[in-house]
Amino acid sequence: MLFGIGLGVFFNFPHKTVVFNEASEREQKLRQIINYIDYEYVDQVNTDSLLDQTISELLHHLDPHSTYIPEDQVSASEESIRGSFVGIGIEFKIYNDSLTVVQVMPDGPSAKAGIIAGDRILLADTVQLFGPSLNSQKVLATLKGVSGTSVKLGLFRPAENLHLEIDVKRGEVGLNSVSSYFLLNDSVGIIKLTKFTARSAQEVRRSLRDLQNEGAKNIILDLRDNPGGLLAAADQIADEFLSKGQMIVFTKDRQGEIEEFYASRRGYFEKGGLAVLINRGSASASEIVAGAVQDHQRGIIVGRRSFGKGLVQEEISLQDGSKMRLTTQRYYTPSGRSIQRDYDTYDQAYYYHGNTGSEQSSDSTVLLPEETELKERRNIGGILPDVEVGYDTTSSTRLLYHLAMTVNLDEQAFKYVDERRKELALWQEDSFVKHWQADSTVLESFFGKPVTERIVKENELELAILKNRLKAFIAYNRFGTRAYQRVYALDDAYVQEALGALKEKEWNTAD
């Protein structure tokens, strides 16, 4: 038993020895309080849940990013970091109380079994998957499982008025962090990276290789709304763009010990035009990549000031199967900038949602590796872009916002596609993106005839953008994320600014 306890302490806290007897009085106090609540409190209380809340609140008071993961959420957290899960490989939505397949993941278990977009899954073995009580939690609990196990699905295929029974063998399904990559024109490719997982560097390398084989001389790396992830993934991805020996990031712990990360090998795209797109939703690992690119003047940062998360968390396993992510280091860009926003007296709502302007007047705080204290001035944090994209206040944006408030555009797009699957099946993605147009008939299917007539009459100049956005929603529900982003990019202000910046700057593309 003593040997087992010793192993547990060693593996959970690899950096230092933790002496538990020093904290025994505090532990006993907490245990005593829980016991009193268990046996003496006037009402029945779930003290396990209460303890989870207490731990979360305790960590919340340290900093905004130290967090507690209850045991029942550990599996989902690990899937997100790993970049894969065990399931049947579909993207679904609950539509009219039915479990409806929106997309089938290529080469996944469902694709191999013959399931297609638009199928309704009515039964999984004996579990009913339709009706007003259906929710996402029930769907996930039913369809996920152990790799190699089978589930018998009862399907209805509306396009053919056909009922089917299909056995699907659960398997490992990749959660792609590169949601899409494609050529914008003959020489510029774009990669949309949504998070930093254990698979991300491999996905980015494949994207870079394929785009260069298709003729890309310039790359736009889209990190908008990418909340970050693994530090190792950020290090590996930045390595693809920087020359060997260039610093990517360095971290510093409470003892002042510094760990430095450098580009270590020949990357897939060390030369050629590079633009990185960021916004308020770009955080953590996204800011490491953007900061390294900016400090070495390797590319152009386009967009709006990023979030400002410069803290590194270590994941620690607890004895009951739960986990804790504890902030153990700060990180700094190669020039010594700490991009972490101030949080000493932060209000959580303000920290995450306030202060959203561009704040051009101040940049991140600088800390050189040999310094021991942060400079004393307010730190707005984040990465300030080289080319700022302003907030769109045009009438077309106001029109889109108003319509989106009155009509669920994604829901209507799904309905539009679902009712026309045979017709839309004749279109291939490339021809759809280049040639299909949203006409007045499409507008009427979304908004009705009276509203459409008013839009056409009163908003003639904004119609092109509105039609393109509707086309993007339809493309997503017919072909998937890649088609959506190809269409959306046609009038995306960030992408257009990046294209202009790449055109203005000359790049050395020689090998």
DSSP state of 461: G
Residue 477 C-alpha from the chain's centroid: 19
Q: Give rounded-to-5 percent helix, strand, coil for the chain.
A: 40, 20, 35
Residue 385 CB neighbours (<10 A): 25
Element (H, E) at 276: strand 273-278
Are the beta carbons of 68 and 314 closer than 8 angstroms? no
Residue 284 annotated among the catalytic residues of the structure: yes
Are the beta carbons of 217 and 248 closer than 8 angstroms? no
Buried-state track 248-269, b at ≥16 Cβ within 10 A, e below 16: bbbbbeeeeeeeebbbeeebbb
DSSP state of 330: E
Element (H, E) at 29: helix 24-40
Residue 368 CA to residue 336 CA, distance in Å, equals 5
Residue 119 annotated among the catalytic residues of the structure: no
Residue whose token pair is 């020949």: 266
DSSP state of 91: E
- Burial label for 292, CB within 10 Å (0-12, 13-18, 19+), is buried
Q: Name the phi and psi angles at 357, rounded to 5.
A: -70, 175
DSSP state of 242: S
Residue 309 annotated among the catalytic residues of the structure: yes
Q: Among the options 110, 284, 322, 445, which is catalytic?
A: 284
Q: Among the options 295, 306, 418, 492, which is catalytic?
A: 295
Residue whose token pair is 């972490």: 340
Residue 174 CA to residue 255 CA, distance in Å, equals 39
Three-state DSSP at 249 gives strand
Cα four-point dihedral sign 43, 47, 52, 56? positive
Q: Among the options 192, 252, 309, 471, which is catalytic?
A: 309
Are the beta carbons of 62 and 327 closer than 8 angstroms? yes
Tell me which residues are annotated as active site: 284, 295, 309
